[in-house]
Every structure is written in structure tokens, then in C-alpha cells.
Amino acid sequence: MIKYVFIQNEPFLLPKVLDKYFRQYHDSTAGVNIQSIAQGKRTVFQTAMDLKRLYGFNYFQWKLRRYLIKKILSRIENQWLKSTRRCHSIRAVARKYGVEVTEAVDVNSDVFLEYLREKRVELIVSISGTQLYRKPLRDQTPAGIINCHGALLPKYRGLMPSFWTLANGEKEGGVSVHFVDEKLDNGPIVVQKRYRINPWDTLEDVMARSKDLAAESVLEAVRLVELGDPPLLPNPASEATHFSMPGPEDMQRVRDRGHRLL
């Protein structure tokens, strides 16, 4: 089964997720589309400013510093020295496995749909993707589109589920890999895995735990889809909760529950 990966351009945790996926499926994956880190309809700059307002200066500058270091290391090690021993970006992981990359494109455009048809893509795997996948794209993908979402669906649909689980005092979080339909984070669930949230866990702890589970969940989901007729769990809209970009008052709720960012 020929696959194609859609993944967010995040340099901290997602390169490891993609590397684990490619170890198993690089030779049956036609390409990877790298999508913007912008949240919702925001630009990258607006997303950054919203996160700065949410997290405060100290955490934001720590994250920005790490981001810039990753960019520099990627340029030096992965581009100039052409080494993939340590991959600091999604593009570097794709290069390591010889997988073609597309970036900064509308995956619903006629040109990209034709590109996927030429590649004979049968299954699309979305990992923290930031674009909506419209009906023509879904209809031309025979095995469907599966999306990995960092929450126990149907709860916590929408943005930043790891943050919201801490803000709401949840005792466990999780990852759901589900088929994509016309609604956001909707569609039946192929794989769902859970992890414990401890009172001392930080936001960074929870995000790392979520991405570790994401890699396992995606591999299991792809295997089940390839086998055919995978067992599915319901993802009822009647039980759904939706969350968008949090604000400083939500950040205070995280702190009030004893959780830190780092």
C-alpha cells in the first residue's frame, strides 16, 4: 500500500516520531508534506505572539532559543555537512530515508491532488497536520486518511490538547488515530492509547509522552489499515468537547493545579 505523510514542521519531538515511522514504512511511502506550525487561521507570526502572551516571556524565549538552535544545527549538520546521524528537522529525516518532500503547498489544490494521483497514493497518514483535508482529497484516497490527534477522542478536539488536559486537571491523557471525515477530529478511531498524568508533570513532560505514544499509535494504525477492515472505536460527536487557543487565564489554571511549563 502506497502511503503519503502529512506532518507539522516542528523540530523538537516530531522528527523522532517520523523517524520511527520511516524505519518501518520508508520504502512504501511516496513522500512527506511538511505543513506550517501556524495554528488555525493564524499566521506563523500571530501564532508566535499568541504563544508568547500565553506562556510568558521566560518560557517563550527558552522555546524560541531552542528553536533557533535546532535551525542552526539543521543547517550545519544536515544541510552543509549532509549528515543524518542526528536529524534536527522533518526534512532531514526524510532525506535520511530517501523520501521526497513537499512543503508550503495547499494539499487540497488541484495541482497537489494530481501529484498524489500520479504517485498512486492509497493511504495518507497525518501527524499533527495543520490543514483541513477536504472531500476531493478524501475521495481520491482509496484506503482513507488517518490522523493522529494528541487526546482521548471524542474529548479535547481542536488545538493544543496536551495543554488543555493539564488546565482541566485530567488524570490521564492519550493519543487517538482516527479516520478523517468532513468534521475536525471526527471519524471512527483506529487506535487509542492512554498515559498517566502525575501531579508533578510539566507541560513539556506531557507533550513528550504524547509524542512517544503517537509514534507507536501511528505504526499500529497503519498496520491495521494495511491488513484490511480494521476494528474501529466510536468517536461520537454527542460526547465531543472542543478547544481553541488558550489565554493567560487558562495558563493560570495550569499553575493553580501545580503544573509547571518546564
The answer to whether position 250 is within a domain reads yes
The answer to whether position 261 is within a domain reads no
Tens digit of pLDDT for each residue in 71-128?
Answer: 999 999 999 999 999 999 999 999 999 999 999 899 999 999 999 999 999 999 999 9
The answer to whether position 71 is within a domain reads yes
Which sign, positive or negative, has the C-alpha torsion 216, 21, 188, 38?
Answer: positive
The pLDDT of residue 7? 97
User: 208, exposed or middle or buried, with CB in 10 Å at 0-12, 13-18, 19+?
Assistant: middle
What is the rounded average pLDDT of the residues 45-67?
Answer: 94
The answer to whether position 262 is within a domain reads no
Task: Check whether 41 has a pLDDT greater than 80.
Answer: no
What is the rounded average pLDDT of the residues 3-20?
Answer: 97
C-alpha cell recorded at residue 182: 468532513
Cell match 501511528: residue? 218
Taking a C-beta distance cutoff of 8 angstroms, is the pair 170, 199 a contact? no
What is the rounded average pLDDT of the residues 192-203?
Answer: 97
DSSP state, residue 106? -
The answer to whether position 225 is within a domain reads yes
Q: How many domains does the chain have?
A: 1
CATH number, position 207:
3.40.50.170
The answer to whether position 116 is within a domain reads yes
The pLDDT of residue 104? 82
The answer to whether position 110 is within a domain reads yes
DSSP state, residue 242? E
Q: What is the pTM of this model?
A: 0.96
Taking a C-beta distance cutoff of 8 angstroms, is the pair 190, 232 a contact? yes
Task: Check whether 38 has a pLDDT greater than 90.
Answer: no
User: 251, exposed or middle or buried, with CB in 10 Å at 0-12, 13-18, 19+?
Assistant: buried
CA distances from 30 to 140, 145, 169, 240 (A): 16, 15, 41, 34
Enclosing domain of residue 234:
3-256
Tens digit of pLDDT for each residue in 210-261?
Answer: 999 999 999 999 999 999 999 999 999 999 999 999 999 999 999 999 999 9
The answer to whether position 155 is within a domain reads yes
The angle that helices 44-55 and 57-73 make with each other, rounded to 10 degrees, is 140
